[in-house]
Amino acid sequence: MLIKRTEKRPLDSPLKARTRVSVVHSPSLARYVFSHPAAAAHATKMVVQSLLDITFQTMFENIDNYDKNLVYTCIGPIRPKMLHTMFQMAARHHLNCDGQGNHIDKLWANLPLLFYSKFFTKLDTEELTRIGCRSGTLSNSRFQEFIRCLGSNTPNLKELIILNSNKSLGEREIESIIQLKKLSFLEILNVDVPLSGLLEISRRCEKLKSIKATEVINDEEASSVAFRDDFVFVYIDVCDKDPGKMWVEIETTMPTWSPILALHTSFTELTLVPKQNREFLLAVQFAKNLKKIDFNSFQLEDIEDMVEFVQLPDIKYATINCGGKSAHALRCFVRRNGESLQELSLREIDIKENMTFSEIFSFCPNLEALQLINCIVSGNDAPVDAMHRLKRFEWTNYVDRRGGDSNAEVAFSSILSAPLLEELCIDLPKIDFSDNATVIARIARRDILQNLKTFGMYITMKSSTEDELEISSSYVESFAELKNAIASAI
């Protein structure tokens, strides 16, 4: 790069005022990676670089060659100005990036020396990476080096969001976060963090109220693990696409997005998509206060080898998706844990599994709510004695245009005998109305549905041939008779 430099002698100089023009080769300045706002001015207005600019450029380019403790001491008075300058130049870097060298890594190499203040209370690391660079990438070591400085450089942080891709936190980074004694809000997003480290943070950062981590690696071998006692809400979601990792959220205040949370003083929820039976051992680690479990069983490779499900003494709510395959894991679960269940949601139980209402309620006698989605329950044999707490029942099977099992004829009238039933929702493509007369008569006598408050019953069917149309006409009539009778009970 060529820079024209001009200088004029003072008017009172014994020599005539004159102008001297010289050409200076400055390749280092030409590669000034952050496109300093004054860089263009240097070339056109021919202004001498300020000492601050020279200091920053020298430090920036050669940071790895200096004693960082000495640099830290020397730049003390001008550190805030240098940090501000760096952020300004980072914002403009994309305009003149030459694609030579790792500019992003250099930026992060300087951050531990510049990012220092007792007045910082909020930090989002994503804001530090907004630099458009043609060739730069951030190494994990540079990233970790910056995280390690937070405990000493920004001791009064209250909110911290650590966001970056393909990075990780180790023991030293965890210890730095633990030093933030005023921290109340922490998010670790797309960054690997060990569960042991997250547990330590929750216990030793006593003012923490909320933690979210999306890439947690379970390195705990203990049979039981727990966060700090005042974390009343814990949510754990084991990642389907990234085996061995899980999403963790914990709060000291119970969320309000679900009405069931208001019923509990502590609540742990676990979501699993297991491929091996041993993965259910995670439920044992978090069994304390585990109130809800949600798992798919259709990807289990050794499902038929399951002898019994792990015991979950506090479980109240469960959602289980069989995916149209074996219901063996479901049966093992309700056999071991069904008695404490209050709400059960079942998905995609195949007709070949011969699941019956009697089987469900015999193992789950305290159910207050049962939901069936795309399930075929073969027996219309729900026992009245085992439904003494049932208040809500929903059965929805979506029409399968290919003629799948979800179109099979099913019956639900035995459910209507539940003495406390308040809510009923039926959306089935094909219902068995063979006992309509008996059911309608019982409704009329007020033998059943005495507490019904909410009701929905929807007709969904397909027909094409004349025979099907004739059957459909009879079906619609039976449907209307039963629907009107149930509606009259409200």
pLDDT, tens digit, 9 for 90 and up, residues 64-74: 777 777 777 77
Residue 490's pLDDT band (boundaries 50, 70, 90)?
A: very high
> Does the pLDDT at position 289 exceed 60?
yes
* Higher-scoring residue by pLDDT: 469, 270: 270
User: Distance between CA 249 and CA 211 in Å, rounded?
Assistant: 6
Q: How far is CA 249 from CA 13, 106, 216, 312, in A?
A: 74, 33, 10, 20
CA 115 to chain centre: 30
Q: Which residues contact 367 (CB under 8 A, 6 or more apart)?
A: 341, 342, 343, 344, 360, 361, 387, 389, 390
pLDDT at residue number 24: 34
Q: Are 306 and 332 in contact (CB under 8 A)?
A: yes
* Higher-scoring residue by pLDDT: 21, 208: 208
- Mean predicted confidence (pLDDT) in 360-375: 97
Q: Identify the weakest region by mean pLDDT among 28-42, 128-142, 405-419.
A: 28-42
pLDDT at residue number 99: 63
Q: Which residues contact 396 (CB under 8 A, 6 or more apart)?
A: 372, 373, 374, 425, 426, 427, 428
Percent share of the chain, pLDDT over 70: 82
Q: What is the pLDDT of residues 472-484, one digit of tens each?
A: 888 999 999 999 9
Mean pLDDT, the chain, rounded, equals 84
Residue 334's pLDDT band (boundaries 50, 70, 90)?
A: very high
- Token digits for 88? 């300004």
Q: Identify the weakest region by mean pLDDT among 75-84, 136-145, 261-270, 334-343.
A: 75-84
- Token digits for 13? 């100089």
Residue 224's pLDDT band (boundaries 50, 70, 90)?
A: confident
Residue 391's pLDDT band (boundaries 50, 70, 90)?
A: very high
pLDDT at residue number 241: 72
User: Distance between CA 191 and CA 176 in Å, rounded?
Assistant: 16
CB atoms within 10 A of CB 159: 15
Residue 111's pLDDT band (boundaries 50, 70, 90)?
A: confident
Q: Which residues contact 98 (CB under 8 A, 6 or more apart)?
A: 31, 33, 134
pLDDT at residue number 459: 87
Q: Checking phi first, is residue 324 left (phi over 0); if not, alpha (psi -120 to 50) or beta?
A: left
Phi/psi at 158 (5° precision): -110, -30
Residue 47's pLDDT band (boundaries 50, 70, 90)?
A: low
pLDDT at residue number 403: 46
Q: Which residues contact 93 (CB under 8 A, 6 or more apart)?
A: 33, 34, 35, 103, 131, 132, 133
pLDDT at residue number 405: 60
Residue 400's pLDDT band (boundaries 50, 70, 90)?
A: low
Residue 460's pLDDT band (boundaries 50, 70, 90)?
A: confident
pTM: 0.81
| Amino acid residing at 212 | K
* Higher-scoring residue by pLDDT: 331, 87: 331
- Token digits for 352? 């070949």
